[in-house]
Amino acid sequence: MKIVPALLTDNPQDFKLMLAQAETFTDFVQIDFMDGSFVPSKSIGPEDLAEIKMGIGWEAHLMVKNPIHYLSSLNKNGLERVIFHLEVDPRPESIVSAIRDLGLAVGLAINPETPLSQFEGIVPQIDSALFLSVHPGFYGSPFIAEVLEKIGEFRSHFPSTLIGIDGGISLDNIQRVKSSGVDYACVGSRIFRHDNPGKRYEEFVKAIG
């Protein structure tokens, strides 16, 4: 299991600082994009990354109503995977194809209340599933433990699919999260709101052995 720092902010300068910090202690991050429509909050947009040279690999988590619109303007430097939300389109095949056409891996994000039956048909077409363990759109939201049961059910049906979890991950629950069988956990505020993000990241790494 890996710890993936998650960068979420609406301030381009704060983003640059967080990215610079992350580059000192990890080789891969998740960058969150929010449009203020699919989720109530709004974050930096692809245009804020246009001139930034990414020194590490990253995945884009698109919490937006129109992910295809975002694809054309994403900075591809270091980008490995694009994650979109199942809930934005009941027939997501066109989004999957658009991501594949860019030569990128496809991730599907699933909100806490979305049942496995609603998305199991699309799983063979994707590379990873990202389970939201909070209601998306806010830094520091409370952890929804019931999602761990859904992850266990998903793992039994799709043992070879990469599984991530995102939201409310803390040092207090990281062992339970690891026991659920996820491959990686995205941690945002509990790393970047610490006085020493690198030290806190290492504490998470140590906690999962």
Q: Which tens digit of pLDDT belongs to each residue from 166-203?
A: 999 999 999 999 999 999 999 999 999 999 999 999 99
The one-character DSSP state at 143 is P
For the chain, the domain total comes to 1
Planar angle of CA 147, 149, 151, nearest 5 degrees: 70
Decide: helix, strand or coil at residue 152.
helix
The CATH number given to whatever domain includes residue 181 is: 3.20.20.70
Q: What is the mean pLDDT of residues 65-93?
A: 91
Boundaries of domain holding 141:
2-207
pTM reported for the whole predicted model: 0.95
**Average pLDDT value over all residues in the chain:** 94
- Cβ-based neighbour number of residue 157 at 10 Å: 10
Q: What is the CA radius of gyration of the chain?
A: 16
Q: Would you give the distance in Å from CA 118 to the centre of its chain?
A: 20
In angstroms, the CA 106 to CA 99 distance is: 6
Q: What percent of the chain has pLDDT over 90?
A: 89
60 φ/ψ angles, rounded to the nearest 5 degrees: -100, 125
Among candidate residues 158, 205, 154, the one with its CA nearest the CA of residue 184: 205
Residue 17 — very low, low, confident or very high, per pLDDT cuts 50/70/90? very high
What pLDDT does residue 138 have? 62
Q: How far apart are CA 168 and CA 195, in angstroms?
A: 19
Res. 90 pLDDT band, cuts 50 70 90: confident
Question: Could you tell me the two tokens for 117?
Answer: 């039956």
Task: Report the sign of the C-alpha dihedral through residues 198, 203, 208, 209, in that order.
Answer: positive
